[in-house]
Amino acid sequence: MPVGCCNSILPRGSRAPTVALRRVFLEIILDLIFAAHCHQPLGNFDEVVHEACDRAYLPFLRVLGAHPGIRVNLHYSGSLLEWLDDRRPDVLEALTAHRNQIEWMGGAFYEPILPSIPVDDAKAHLALLSEFLYERFDHTPRGAWIAERVWDPSLPSLLREAGMEYTLLDDYALLLAGYPPAIATETFVTDHLGKALTIFPIAQDLRHAVPNAEPGEVLEMLRDRNDQNPGTLAVIADDGEKFGMWAGSSARVYEPGNWLDEFFTLVEETDWLDTTTFEQHLDDHPARRRVAIPPAAYREMSEWSLPAETARTNVRPGSGSEPTDWMGMEAFMRGGWWPNFLVEFSEAAVLYRKMLRLSTHVTASKTPPEPLAELLKAQGNDAYWHGAFGGLFSPHLRAETNRHLIAAQKMIDAQHHRGRAWTYVRHLDWDADGREEIEVELPDQSWVVDPAEGGCLLYFDDKPSRWSISDVVARQFEPCHLDLTETQVYDRHPRRWLIDHLLPSTTTVESFASVSYEELRPLPETEYVIEETREGRGSVRADMAALDGTVSKSIAAQDRELRVAYQLTGAPPGRFGPEVPVSVWEDAGEIRVDGGPWHSIGQPLALAGHRFRLRHTGLKVFLLIVLRQPGSVFSIPIRTTTREDTGHASIFQGVVLWPHWSTGGEGSYEMTIEVGEAAEETA
Helix %, strand %, coil % of the chain (to 5): 35, 30, 35
Do 68 and 101 form a contact (C-beta atoms < 8 A)?
yes
Instruction: Look at 24-33, 197-206, 410-419, 673-682 and tell me which has the smallest mean pLDDT.
Output: 24-33
Q: List C-alpha distances in Å: 20 to 17, 23, 207, 230.
A: 9, 5, 32, 19
Which residues lie below 8 Å from residue 658, measured CB to CB, with a gap of 6+?
Answer: 501, 512, 577, 578, 579, 580, 633, 634, 635, 636
Do 298 and 385 form a contact (C-beta atoms < 8 A)?
no
Q: Taking residues 652-666, what's their average pLDDT? A: 96
Query: What mean pLDDT value characterizes the chain?
Result: 90
For 453-497, write each residue's pLDDT tens digit. 999 999 999 999 999 999 999 999 887 888 888 889 999 999 999
For 264-284, write each residue's pLDDT tens digit. 999 999 999 999 999 999 999
For 444-461, write each residue's pLDDT tens digit. 999 999 999 999 999 999
Angle (CA) 391-397-403 rounded to 5° is 145
* C-alpha neighbours within 13 Å on the C-beta side of residue 504: 7
For 142-171, write each residue's pLDDT tens digit. 999 999 999 999 999 999 999 999 999 998
Distance from C-alpha of 169 to C-alpha of 188, rounded to nearest angstrom: 11
Length of the chain: 683
Which residues lie below 8 Å from residue 558, measured CB to CB, with a gap of 6+?
Answer: 442, 536, 538, 539, 540
Distance from C-alpha of 507 to C-alpha of 513, rounded to nearest angstrom: 10
Q: Taking residues 409-431, what's their average pLDDT? A: 94
pLDDT at 385: 92
Which residues lie below 8 Å from residue 625, measured CB to CB, with a gap of 6+?
Answer: 580, 611, 612, 613, 614, 633, 657, 659, 671, 672, 673
Distance from C-alpha of 213 to C-alpha of 327, rounded to nearest angstrom: 25
Distance from C-alpha of 532 to C-alpha of 542, rounded to nearest angstrom: 6
Which residues lie below 8 Å from residue 369, measured CB to CB, with a gap of 6+?
Answer: none
Q: List C-alpha distances in Å: 622 to 174, 373, 600.
A: 53, 29, 15
H/E stretch holding 457 reads: strand 456-462
Distance from C-alpha of 214 to C-alpha of 220, rounded to nearest angstrom: 10
For 509-561, write each residue's pLDDT tens digit. 999 999 999 999 999 999 999 999 999 999 999 999 999 999 999 999 999 99
pLDDT at 602 over 60: yes
Question: Of 393, 40, 525, 436, nearest to 241 (Cα)?
Answer: 40
Residue 154 burial by CB count (10 A; 0-12/13-18/19+): exposed, middle or buried?
Answer: middle
Catalytic residue from among 103, 121, 148, 374 = 148
| One-letter identity of residue 629 | Q
Do 473 and 347 form a contact (C-beta atoms < 8 A)?
yes
Residue 43 burial by CB count (10 A; 0-12/13-18/19+): exposed, middle or buried?
Answer: buried
Angle (CA) 75-220-9 rounded to 5° is 110
pTM of the model: 0.84
Active site residue 670: no
Distance from C-alpha of 429 to C-alpha of 261, rounded to nearest angstrom: 56
The DSSP output letter for 101 is: G
For 55-77, write each residue's pLDDT tens digit. 999 999 999 999 999 999 999 99
Active site residue 239: yes
Q: Which domains does the chain have, with CATH numbers?
A: 20-297 (3.20.110.20), 303-343 (no CATH), 472-680 (2.70.98.10)
Catalytic residue from among 51, 54, 227, 239 = 239
Q: How far is CA 358 from the centre of its chain?
A: 18
Distance from C-alpha of 2 to C-alpha of 52, rounded to nearest angstrom: 48
Q: What is the dihedral of CA 261, 264, 268, 269, to 10 degrees?
A: 70
616: left (phi over 0), alpha (psi -120 to 50) or beta: beta
Do 422 and 443 form a contact (C-beta atoms < 8 A)?
yes
